Amino acid sequence: MHRVSLNYTLGADAAPALVRNPLLDLLQAVSERGSISAAARQLDLSYRHVWGELKRWDAEFGQPLIHWEKGHAARLTDFGAKLLWAERRAQARLLPQIEALRADIERAFAIAFDDSAHVLTFFASHDEALIALGEQARARRLHLDIRFTGSVDAIRALNEGRCEMAGFHTRIKPARGSLSQRTYKPLLQPGRNKLIGFARRTQGLIVAPGNPLGLRTVDDLTRRGVRFVNRALGTGTRVLFDELLADAGIAPASVRGHERVEPSHAAVAHAIVTGMADAGFGIEANARVRGLDFVPLVEEHYFLACLKSSLEQPAAQALLALLRMEEWQRHLSALPGYAPMSSGDVLPMTRVLPWWRFRTPRAAKPSAA
């Protein structure tokens, strides 16, 4: 049994949250480049160093990691491919927890280096734009302590005082009586909760390169042999997908794999990359970064929610100012499937989530003279 130890890098240019392992990075490079020399160049290492490391690990494991024959491309052995697959799957599945761990450590250092820095605690549905926002915020002495969780749990955490900001998403103009209404309306109270515009993003089918099965609609997921991978109950993406099924009159049991869940968009995409599933439902950014194809199905709004009582706090005001900046909105627009949506504006909840009806008080009749 091989043990795992972790470390982290502290510095202004530290990489985004990802637990790196030099051996697995090397195997990935060989798999992509097809030669040891090309892998060494990609990793900015010497050929001699890479050769020595591979030989050392072959001895450590007692079996080879790479097939190399003169005149042929280098390729991973079955054992090497299995190691790489297992590590990349673990990375994809644990990404929300890795982000949370990094947030905890960064928060501690943010206070240690500058106790006047603004710290804002987030519980939010997993989102690539929020990760990018956190990077932008640090340069402005605003630390976003982001814990990725399902949309439902995020709003509950806000209402219970466990965070100051919650991120959740719904389709644009959700219908009255929809699953979105039944899920979110009991959790949000006009007058107590405030919504802040963040982004518009696209969700759809994540499929293999070239979309070999020709999947275009949710109805295609019911075809014989199509393997689907879903998100967990309580996530905004699961709410949205089940709502699309209901709109199409499709029973969840008709989708093979509806009950098989992954904890993040990254894990869904990884299941497609490794051939464990033919399709998933998620955001475009995670499909593109992994070389997968994407079939857009629905646009949604991603909102930030807070309590009215905390809206005027310095940290919240610093966040609103950042969201309104043209630099941030350009950065957001560059992410696949994203666009600004009233970024930084406090929005009337009864307009963007039209589930409440309030009677306008009748004007008093003039009394008779």
Terminal C-alpha separation, the chain: 95
Instruction: Identify the CA nearest to 318 among candidates 139, 163, 160, 151.
Output: 139
pLDDT at 146 over 70: yes
What is the pLDDT at residue 159? 96
Report whether 198 contacts 324 (CB < 8 A). Answer: no
Average pLDDT over residues 23-30: 89
pLDDT in tens, 67-87: 877 767 888 998 988 888 888
Q: How many residues in total does the chain contain? A: 369
pLDDT at 343 over 80: yes
| Percentage of the chain modeled with pLDDT above 70 | 89
Axis crossing angle, helix 236-247 with helix 151-159, rounded to the nearest 10: 130
Higher pLDDT, 110 or 328: 328
pLDDT at 369 over 50: no
What is the pLDDT at residue 170? 96
From residue 286, alpha-carbon distances to 280, 290, 338, 353 in Å are 11, 7, 12, 27
Higher pLDDT, 301 or 12: 301
pLDDT in tens, 259-280: 999 988 888 999 999 899 999 9
Report whether 93 contacts 232 (CB < 8 A). Answer: no
- Mean pLDDT of all residues belonging to the chain: 88
Average pLDDT over residues 320-343: 96
**For 179-185, which contacts have Cβ atoms below 8 Å and span 24 or more sequence positions?**
179/239, 179/242, 179/243, 179/246, 180/239, 180/240, 180/243, 181/355, 183/152, 183/239, 184/151, 184/152, 184/155, 184/353, 185/353, 185/355, 185/356
In three state form, how does the secondary structure of 274-337 look? Answer: CCCCCEEEEEHHHHHHCCCEEEEEEEEEEEEEEEHHHCCCHHHHHHHHHHHCHHHHHHHHCCCC
pLDDT in tens, 189-219: 998 999 999 999 999 999 999 999 999 999 9
What is the pLDDT at residue 109? 73
pLDDT in tens, 147-193: 889 999 999 999 999 999 999 999 998 888 999 999 999 999 998 99
Residues 6+ apart with CB under 8 A from 248: 217, 218, 219
pLDDT confidence bin for 351, thresholds 50/70/90: confident
pLDDT in tens, 209-262: 999 999 999 999 999 999 999 999 999 999 999 999 999 999 999 999 999 999
Q: What are phi and psi of 91, to 5 degrees?
A: -60, -45
What is the pLDDT at residue 355? 86
Given the candidates 3.40.190.10, 3.30.70.20, 3.30.365.10, 1.20.1440.230, the CATH classification of the domain at 167-353 is: 3.40.190.10
The CATH number that domain 22-87 falls under is: 1.10.10.10
Higher pLDDT, 60 or 294: 294
For the chain, the domains span: 22-87, 167-353
Same fold, 22-87 and 167-353: no
The alpha helices in the chain, defined as continuous H runs, are 22-33, 36-42, 47-61, 78-113, 128-138, 151-159, 179-184, 236-247, 265-273, 284-289, 314-324, 326-333, 349-352
Taking every pair of C-alpha atoms in the chain, what is the biggest distance, in angstroms? Answer: 108
Classified as helix, coil or strand, 163 is coil
pLDDT at 142 over 80: yes
